Amino acid sequence: MKKIIALVVSFFAALFSIQPAMASERAMQGWKLIEEGAVIVDVRTPAEFAQGHLEHALNYPVQELDQHVAKLNKDDMIVLYCRSGARVERAIQFLQSQGFTKLHNAGGLAELEQAVKATQ
């Protein structure tokens, strides 16, 4: 009976254990572009940015992006990230409407951090 209980416990432990996430393709591509000199834009709120961000990232919250667009160069590659990648999609739509074409959605901050760990 003890063996059966141990087997059942082991099965459920394995079934529900959290496996390390694989780095996403968009995050890996984001790091490649950053290493090549892309501008990094964090579109999260200032409070989120203060809790942690990528080195050299500019904090241009998506809801204030229209106030910062003049600071960006349309010729530069721009890598954008947020928490999950959803706000980046809105930011990219806005920047494209302003004539920007060199844009990459690198996803969320945790996703990017996972990608950099995968390359080490």
- Show me where the domains of the chain are located: 23-118
Report the sign of the C-alpha dihedral through residues 108, 111, 117, 118, in that order: negative
Give every residue of the chain whose pLDDT is below 50, as ranges: 6-21
Looking at the domain that runs over 23-118, which CATH code has it been given? 3.40.250.10
Non-local (6+) Cβ contacts of 76 within 8 A are 38, 39, 102
Report, as residue numbers or ranges, the catalytic residues.
82
In whole angstroms, give the CA distance from residue 73 to residue 78: 9
Report pLDDT digits (tens) over 74-103: 999 999 999 998 999 999 999 999 999 999
Query: For residue 65, what pLDDT is reported?
Result: 97
